[in-house]
Structure 1
């Protein structure tokens, strides 16, 4: 049995949990998230506020999904109570970020500014003009949006310029050497 999948999930009091056939919905103070469960995974409420993830069959696929959906459910609970944040740092001469009515505007060395509209459920914050925060309730969407922003100007190994995650270490390379 999956070590992660057999762990119980405790729900705080302010969370509303619904399980309608294969659709689960979790609503909390930060927002609401919905997911579709595969047929081989079942969620049962052992007692009020305690959830357990079970699998109905012992196939390889259902064993793989068991731990995955327990983790996804746990992330949903954390997302609607606390939310998720990814922080991106921009390094480079003239690199700056700004907000324009919910749209992120990046000046990262191109001839034009790059505009990124905020998807549903995502909010951008600019701490300084080189630090961007992506905030939301769904961990997957927050990570995808942060990755999309990073892919506009990924960090390069020679000068260390680009957009990188907070705490990311870029392995530096030596440039050309003269003889």
Structure 2
């Protein structure tokens, strides 16, 4: 039994959820999203206004899709009501970020600046006194995480001095350098 799947997804005030067959559509103050649920999973609106997810049979695949489907629907509701954000930090001498229109310019120690076009539906802010913090936000959790991972990929943190781009909550395992 899925402990997550048993719980109904609550729909807060200001958000409307609609179940049509296997498609769940959610509209809120930040936008609208939809998700197509697998055929092995039954989706229905509850009397309290939430969305309940149950497997159609007891197969291994249906049980494994049960919790994932509930979490995806929960992410839709959270995305259109609050949104998601990932914070990145840039460490290193001369490493910085700047936002020019729809392009993020990263100075990461290469001979050239890295130009990263901001995808549609994603907002990027550059913060910090030294322009060393990047905040990626949007309504789709997967896209926010993917964009943050693509930015981090340009220069991941190295273990000796910790230089590079890292997530704000990431702990870098530091190595000891050479000894004389």
Task: Place the TM-score, normalised by the shorter chain, in its bin.
Answer: over 0.9
Tell me the secondary structure at the aligned position of residue 3 of structure 2: coil
CA contact (8 A) 1:102 1:123 kept: no
The CA deviation string for residues 80-120 of structure 1, in whole angstroms up to 9 with x for no partner, is 10111100000001111011112211110111111111222
Provide the aligned C-alpha RMSD in A: 1.1
Paired positions, count: 178
- Per the alignment, residue 170 of structure 1 pairs with 172
Q: State the alpha-carbon separation in 2 of the partners of residues 134 and 156 from structure 1.
A: 22
Q: Name the SS for the 1:5 alignment partner.
A: helix
1:153 to 146, 152, 155: 155
Alignment partner for residue 130 of structure 1, among 115, 129, 132? Answer: 132
Distance in 1 of aligned mates of 2:174 and 2:136: 27
Partners of 1:21 and 1:50 in 2: CA distance: 16
Structure 1 gaps of 5+ residues are: none
Q: Residue 63 of structure 2: SS of its match in structure 1?
A: helix
Deviation of the 1:48 alpha carbon: 4.9
Q: Which runs of 5+ in 2 are unaligned?
A: none
1:64-95 deviation digits (Å, cap 9, x = unpaired): 01001111111111111011110000000111
Q: Provide the residue aligned with 2:114 in structure 1.
A: 114
1:131-154 C-alpha deviation (Å, 9 max, x unpaired) = 000000111111111111111100
CA distance in structure 2 between the partners assigned to 1:121 and 1:100 by the alignment = 17
In 1, distance between residues paired with 2:91 and 2:77? 34
Q: Which residue of 1 aligns with 2:84?
A: 84
**Aligned-pair CA distance for 1:167:** 2.3
